[in-house]
Amino acid sequence: MIEGRIKHLDLANRSALIVESNGNEVTVQFALRANVEIIEPETVGLMGGSLEDLEEGFEVEIEVASLNEDGSIICDSIACVS
């Protein structure tokens, strides 16, 4: 699992740049059927969402599905925790 903040979000290419707490930057590619969960404002619980619900600056937890040859990560699940 990777935890960090979305620094840059590229919805057209289904990717994001995530900054971990140690400053390490990781490029993430979202699988076509990536599970997206975001915080529901009234209950502060997680609910289903889409990539379009994510925003730069959100703190997230990412489940790694696999690694690409260039070191980027393929994500099959992302949860917004902020």
Domains plus CATH for the chain? 2-80 (2.40.50.320)
Q: If you ran DSSP here, which 8-state letter would residue 68 be given?
A: -
More confident residue, 44 or 32: 32
Indicate if the pLDDT at residue 50 is higher than 70. Answer: yes
pTM: 0.86
The tokens for 31 are 């699988």
CA angle (23, 17, 29) in 5-degree steps? 135
Indicate if the pLDDT at residue 4 is higher than 80. Answer: yes
Q: Are 19 and 36 in contact (CB under 8 A)?
A: no
